[in-house]
Structure 1
Amino acid sequence: MSEFETLTLQCQDGYNLSARFYAAISESKELPVLVCPATGITKQFYHQFCVWLQAQGYAVMVFDFRGIGDSLAGPLKNSKASIVQWGQLDIPAAIDTLLARTHAEKVTLLGHSAGGQLLGIVPNYSKVAKVVAVSGSTGHLKGLKGKTKLLAPVMFNIIFPLARITKGYGPTQAIGMGENLPKDVAQQWAQFCSKPGYVINAIGKLVSPDSNFHTQITCPITAIWSSDDEIATEENVKDLLRLYPQASTQMIELKPENYAHKTIGHMLMFKKSHQNLWPVIEQQLAV
């Protein structure tokens, strides 16, 4: 028996997304979990973690955002995908599909990096019972640390603008930052990280003020980050949580040495090599 079922999600604008649904092995005692990926990271990256959650009794779904992985339709340079569309169209479609498959009333949203940063522009946010934001922060440039603090401005201000003209996309694969990005995803990523607040910077520009739900969200939000994460630093995690003044928020910092790891960083929490961290994440999924 296959561990997952491949699904096609249809967004409100007709765009199709590729997803995987992992049915709960035992009768699910908790709400279904929607895994929302980081920027440029495909659903395959989360496979082992999803299988583990499935074995714990959860129904789980993970998907590729439009313009990424199996949700890329046609040549990358022609993709019109954007981060705003991820929040306003892709996540809502994933929420509704997961609820339809499980007959649950709400989902727990487990977002990795960007996947946990967009609830404030998700129109059906009321169907989310809780957010667990792994490596979730605003990624504000001034709050970055280490090499990333030096490299990010070069990527955002030089590489992305030049590549938009010469290649028609954001060349992140060459620098080890996931799949290459649609040009508008790359551009918005740079814009949103240039000031505090991430997607809040799109309100009144790319997002109508009527579609800003940050102050209306009351579900609990837990941010889990590592002390050696150069992007989701304590400063940037706090910057994300402040956007939800009506929500009950919690911060959980993981130190690599406490779990016998040399590093955790921004990406390794979902790797099988770091599966001793998975129970820490799972503990936060219960509402």
Structure 2
Amino acid sequence: MQERQTRAIEPEPVALAAADGCPINGFVWRRRAPDAGRADRPVVIVNAATSVRCRYYFRFAAFLFEHGHDVVVYDYRGIGESRPSTLRGFRASWLDWGRLDFEAVLQYAAREFAGQPIDVVAHSIGGFVAGLAPSSARIRRIVTMGAQYAYSRDYAPERRRAMLWRWHLLMPVLAALCGYVPAKRLGWMEDTPKGVALSWCRSRARFEDTFGRGPFALDEAERARLVERFAAVRAPLLAISVTDDEFGTVPAIERLLAYFTGSAVTHLRIAPEQIGEAVIGHFAFFHSRFEDTLWQIPLGWLKSAALPEDAPGSVVLPSWRAR
């Protein structure tokens, strides 16, 4: 009965504004007095994948809330609750999602949950976003799932040709023709701002080189400061990947992890059959059918910065540390 009552609690809508005035909207699960403000009750921010609505993570957020965390989910500018009346001509990039949007949510968490540790669970590009915010050093612990920044040579070899066609050829053409990517009507994801599509399709081996030219170009000093922000993060980081994720290959995961030079990182790689499943892929980790299996892994890390003893999968040794 207590579990059903806890899960029945509806989140509160939250409306923020990024430093440039752009509205950032989402939802928050919070425990009121007497638990409010307790140092042993963390607040978890959930960073979504590219063009995935924050509502997709509602059941996972409710699960974390049930297990002693306050939780904030939000949509990046241009997506879901933070979508403007029209995306045509709307300016947004991956950099904006990190430097401005995630930063606004971090500041909100520090202000509204004063005295509580701030943790992050990040899906796909959300792990990259986590290192871009000026306040990322506030984060206590991080869990990522399939986190990378879509460098095409890291895609799974057997899927690379099809992925190049969709994400690096067709997507930018649609963005140029429509002024945004009408991805929802194609069954891909949520409609996506043009600048985000360009961030994706132009992704380079070193992410900062992606932003050395084009409409979101930064000078060399600014690009260096972005890299320094990743290095300033001290949070223990658990990177989870699965063997049937065409985006989250070992090279892709390690490419992003290599920027978190100040963090103790653990890369846990799981095969679907290790939990009795045929498929997990890039998105299914956050499906509620994995509550008793996969969801226990981030829960354990958020509580103790350690893997549960019975965690499936194997730890991948970080080859990038030797570079």
Give the TM-score normalised by the residue count of structure 2.
0.82
**Partner residue in 2 for 1:92:** 103
Cα distance change of structure 1 residues 266 and 199 upon mapping to structure 2, 3 Å threshold: farther
Paired with 1:54 and 1:22, the residues of 2 have a C-alpha distance of: 7
In the alignment, is residue 5 of structure 1 matched against residue 17 of structure 2? no
Paired with 1:132 and 1:203, the residues of 2 have a C-alpha distance of: 29
**Partner residue in 2 for 1:278:** 295
**Partner residue in 1 for 2:314:** none
In the alignment, is residue 206 of structure 1 matched against residue 205 of structure 2? no
Query: RMSD of aligned C-alpha atoms?
Result: 2.1
Cα distance change of structure 1 residues 228 and 24 upon mapping to structure 2, 3 Å threshold: farther
**Total equivalences in the alignment:** 285
Q: Name whichever of 224-233 and 102-111 sits farther off.
A: 102-111
Q: Name whichever of 2-11 and 165-174 sits farther off.
A: 165-174
Paired with 1:200 and 1:223, the residues of 2 have a C-alpha distance of: 24
Cα distance change of structure 1 residues 121 and 200 upon mapping to structure 2, 3 Å threshold: farther
Task: Write the letter of the residue equivalent to 1:138.
Answer: Y
Cα distance change of structure 1 residues 148 and 77 upon mapping to structure 2, 3 Å threshold: farther
Runs of 4+ in 1 over 4 A off after TM superposition: none
Q: Is the contact between residue 23 and residue 82 of structure 2 (CA under 8 Å) also seen in structure 1?
A: yes
Residues 186-197 of structure 1 correspond to what in structure 2 (within 5 A)?
Answer: 186-192=197-203, 195-197=204-206
Q: Is the contact between residue 118 and residue 199 of structure 1 (CA under 8 Å) also seen in structure 2?
A: no
Cα shift at 1:202: 2.5
Q: Which runs of 5+ in 2 are unaligned?
A: 1-7, 306-323
**Partner residue in 2 for 1:227:** 243
Paired with 2:176 and 2:212, the residues of 1 have a C-alpha distance of: 26
Cα distance change of structure 1 residues 121 and 203 upon mapping to structure 2, 3 Å threshold: farther
Cα shift at 1:135: 1.2
Q: Is the contact between residue 225 and residue 253 of structure 1 (CA under 8 Å) also seen in structure 2?
A: yes
Paired with 1:170 and 1:206, the residues of 2 have a C-alpha distance of: 24
SS at match of 2:131: helix
Paired with 1:132 and 1:12, the residues of 2 have a C-alpha distance of: 26
Task: Write the letter of the residue equivalent to 2:139.
Answer: V
SS at match of 2:104: helix
SS at match of 2:247: coil
Cα distance change of structure 1 residues 69 and 199 upon mapping to structure 2, 3 Å threshold: farther
Relative CO higher for 1 or 2, CA cutoff 8 Å, sep ≥ 6?
A: 1
Cα shift at 1:266: 0.5
Question: Of the two, which has the highest radius of gyration?
Answer: 2
Q: Name whichever of 166-175 and 267-276 sits farther off.
A: 166-175
Q: Is the contact between residue 24 and residue 55 of structure 1 (CA under 8 Å) also seen in structure 2?
A: no
| 1:121 maps to which of 129, 132, 135 | 132
Q: Which runs of 5+ in 1 are unaligned?
A: none
Paired with 1:206 and 1:268, the residues of 2 have a C-alpha distance of: 35
Paired with 1:203 and 1:105, the residues of 2 have a C-alpha distance of: 38
Cα distance change of structure 1 residues 103 and 119 upon mapping to structure 2, 3 Å threshold: same
Q: Is the contact between residue 67 and residue 81 of structure 1 (CA under 8 Å) also seen in structure 2?
A: yes
Cα distance change of structure 1 residues 191 and 102 upon mapping to structure 2, 3 Å threshold: same
Task: Write the letter of the residue equivalent to 1:109.
Answer: V
Q: Is the contact between residue 131 and residue 220 of structure 1 (CA under 8 Å) also seen in structure 2?
A: yes
Q: Name whichever of 141-150 and 219-228 sits farther off.
A: 141-150
